[in-house]
């Protein structure tokens, strides 16, 4: 043969993947997934008091905010275009007990935060967690009897707390305690109370993960927790079981499904998206955030690029959105890029 043909042409049959990668414009043209501000849910920590901005040591850049400060931040989030905020309370230790009874107080910290945000920033969605762990003095997500986290009693409490959260203005209830039957019971309780429009984001697959460590410090449950959560969260070894668990949430009436933690469980995100066709969200949890921050602060990785790459990976894995402590940073970055 003549001309410029060479051995690689013979091998590839003239097909070359790199033609589409040759310039910025070709790469933009063929880009399959894109991260936008519409994909972001911002998880935020609430503390009692006013004018409090209290850094979480293990999560550089993340602060616990009093309700007034949270409202200011929610306003900024809404202005940046972030669709929703997910709140987690760190309540006074004196209010925590065996059964997490303070979850039923209409004016508890999470409900006060919801009311204040909905009043001041009506155009941001509020997603509230209904597990009992912020309210128990043992750090478990449910009622502890002896050494058992009792399922049905917990579900009853969580469903009541969900209705009270909806009364306070919560738009989406996110049950994170992994009790059996909770989605169905919460759905019925909400409907009974006239909250047909309040949605349920099921923590459909929540794994017994070591990645939650910094979060437990942030809401003050780290030192309290006796034992572990393996009798109610899913074993990280199990994918088929996770799908079965998610299927039950779908049958019981979940509107959206969440996978938690995020990056180590992208296979689950993909399988759930394929299986149910419901919107799927990943929770990039505290330990995932801290890993990236710690390495970046040491100068070992480019924190901003790694942050964006992880979030894009969720999109590629089929997620419709991501709960991420990076949400505000990313939204600011995207706004800068867009202008």
Q: Is 160 a catalytic residue?
A: no
Record the tokens describing residue 211, joined without a space: 């990645």
CB of 161 vs ligand PBG, minimal distance in Å? 12
CB nearer ligand PBG, residue 89 or residue 169:
89
Binders of ligand PBG among residues 244 to 283 (CB under 6 A) are none
CB 269 within 8 A of CB 294: no
Given the residues 69, 118, 260, 315, the one annotated as active site: 260
- Catalytic residue, chosen from 69, 118, 206, 293, is 206
Residue choice 39, 112, 133, 249 for contact with ligand PBG (CB under 6 A): 133
Binding segment for ligand PBG (CB under 6 A), chosen from 77-85, 113-121, 191-199, 211-219, is 211-219
Residue 141 binds to ligand PBG (criterion: CB under 6 A): yes
CB of 148 to ligand PBG, least distance (A): 17
Residue 43 to residue 58: CA distance in whole angstroms: 16
Are 291 and 58 within 8 A, CB to CB? no
Q: Interface with ligand PBG includes 96 (CB under 6 A)?
A: no
Q: Judged by CB under 6 A, does residue 286 bind ligand PBG? A: yes
DSSP symbols for 99-159: T-GGGG-TTSHHHHHHHHHHHH-TTSEEEEE--STTTBTT--SSEEETTEEEHHHHHHHHH
With CB under 6 A as the contact rule, the residue among 129, 217, 245, 249 that binds ligand PBG is: 129
Q: For residues 78, 80, 86 and 88, what is the CA-based torsion angle, rounded to 10 degrees?
A: -100
Decide if residue 322 touches ligand PBG (CB under 6 A). no
Dist CA 321 CA 315 (whole Å): 7
Q: Are the beta carbons of 64 and 45 closer than 8 angstroms? A: yes
Could you give the 3-state DSSP secondary structure of residue 48?
A: coil
Stretch that binds ligand PBG, among 72-80, 128-136, 154-162, 250-258 (CB under 6 A): 128-136
Q: Which is nearer to ligand PBG, 194 or 227 (CB)?
A: 227
Active site residue 260: yes
Helices in the chain by DSSP H: which ranges?
7-12, 24-30, 67-80, 109-120, 151-167, 182-192, 213-218, 240-252, 266-276, 286-297, 303-316, 327-338
Binding test (CB under 6 A) with ligand PBG, winner from 75, 160, 216, 333: 216
Q: Is 45 in the site for ligand PBG (CB under 6 A)?
A: no
CB 67 within 8 A of CB 113: yes
- Per CB under 6 A, the list member of 102, 118, 229, 271 interacting with ligand PBG is 229
Residues near ligand PBG (CB under 6 A) are 129, 131, 133, 141, 176-177, 212, 215-216, 229, 285-286
The residues that are catalytic are: 206, 260
């Amino acid at each position: 043969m003549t001309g410029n043909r060479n051995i690689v042409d013979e091998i590839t049959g003239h097909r070359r993947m790199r033609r589409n990668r040759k310039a910025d414009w070709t790469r933009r043209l063929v880009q399959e997934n894109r991260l936008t501000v519409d994909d972001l849910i911002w998880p935020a920590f609430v503390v009692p008091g006013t004018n409090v901005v209290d850094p979480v040591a293990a999560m550089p850049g993340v602060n616990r905010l009093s309700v007034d400060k949270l409202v200011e931040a929610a306003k900024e989030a809404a202005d940046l275009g972030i669709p929703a905020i997910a709140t987690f309370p760190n309540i006074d230790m004196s209010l925590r007990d065996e059964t997490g009874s303070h979850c039923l107080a209409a004016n508890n910290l999470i409900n006060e935060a919801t009311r204040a945000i909905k009043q001041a920033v009506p155009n941001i969605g509020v997603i509230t967690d209904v597990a009992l762990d912020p309210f128990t003095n043992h750090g478990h997500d449910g009622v502890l009897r002896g050494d058992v986290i009792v399922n049905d009693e917990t579900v009853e409490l969580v469903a009541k707390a969900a209705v009270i959260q909806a009364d306070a203005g919560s738009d989406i209830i996110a049950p994170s305690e992994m009790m059996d039957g909770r989605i169905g019971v919460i759905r019925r309780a909400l409907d009974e109370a006239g909250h047909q429009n309040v949605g349920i984001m099921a923590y459909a697959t929540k794994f017994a993960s070591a990645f939650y460590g910094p979060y437990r410090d942030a809401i003050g449950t780290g030192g309290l927790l006796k034992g572990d959560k393996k009798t109610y969260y899913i074993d990280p070894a199990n994918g088929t079981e996770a799908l079965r668990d998610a299927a039950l949430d779908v049958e019981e009436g979940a509107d959206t499904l969440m996978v938690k933690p995020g990056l180590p469980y992208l296979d689950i995100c993909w399988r759930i998206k394929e299986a149910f066709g419901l919107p799927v969200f990943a929770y990039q949890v505290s330990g995932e955030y801290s890993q990236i921050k710690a390495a970046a602060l040491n100068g070992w990785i480019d924190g901003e690029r790694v942050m964006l790459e992880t979030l894009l990976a969720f999109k590629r894995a089929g997620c419709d959105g991501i709960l991420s402590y990076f949400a505000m940073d990313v939204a600011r970055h995207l706004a800068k890029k867009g202008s």
